Amino acid sequence: MIESKLVASTWGNVSAKVDNDNLIVITPSGVDYKNLTFNELPVIDMDGKKIYGKYEPSSEKLLHLALLKNRKDIHGVMHTHSIYASAFSVIREAIPPIIEDMVQIAGGEIPVAPYHLPGTPELGNDVLRVMQDKYGALMANHGFVGVGRTVHEAFKVCLVVEKAAQIHFIAKAIGTPNILSEEDVSIMRKGYLESYSKHDMEGAG
């Protein structure tokens, strides 16, 4: 996440369901990720109570909990402050479905959740609401959150959405971006979920 420049310093955070989906392992608050070891990662229950770990869970734990608790289809969440996706979050406009990989992996147009202060329950609830059954949503004037059937897939969502936001910016500078049709989007998304991704899921935890 850091090497791909999706976040700076300790901003941005990651979580995953563990223990038959009864517990969540999540990155800690305010600790340099480069020095973090496996055993230091906080583990919380589905109510957000810390069960294990040296450090306190991320200050965005309510965002992660809202998604992991209510979306039975996902097991990983990644929240980033990547530049181009954040630019869309600042103008509070959805990222349109313009490129195949983001449509397949993230599920189509990327909606924007209204602004709420970080760490509030309202933020998590609104992200969950606007995301519907997709794998990503923008958070107004803040950043992006990607989800997936694995943490690895949530990371992939963050990468392809950031790339789509960047492509949109460049395309607009040289012409008028064309938007993929709703029908094509749903065919590609279905295809990805049903077959293409299966190989990817193997061994991904």
Q: Which residues in this chain contact Zn ion in the complex, by CB under 5 A? A: 143
Residue (108 or 143) nearer to Zn ion, CB: 143
Q: Which class for 47: exposed (0-12), middle (13-18), buried (19 or more C-beta within 10 A)?
A: exposed
Q: How far apart are CA 183 and CA 205, in angstroms?
A: 32
Q: How far apart are CA 73 and CA 53, in angstroms?
A: 26
The least distance separating Zn ion from the CB of residue 60, rounded to whole angstroms, comes to 6
| Inter-residue contact 18 to 25 (CB < 8 Å) | yes
The least distance separating Zn ion from the CB of residue 177, rounded to whole angstroms, comes to 27
Determine how many CB atoms are found less than 10 A away from the CB of residue 139.
26
Residue (103 or 159) nearer to Zn ion, CB: 159
The least distance separating Zn ion from the CB of residue 58, rounded to whole angstroms, comes to 9
Residue (127 or 160) nearer to Zn ion, CB: 127
Tokens found for residue 166: 């960047």
Residue (143 or 148) nearer to Zn ion, CB: 143
Residue 135: strand, helix, or coil: coil
The least distance separating Zn ion from the CB of residue 191, rounded to whole angstroms, comes to 32
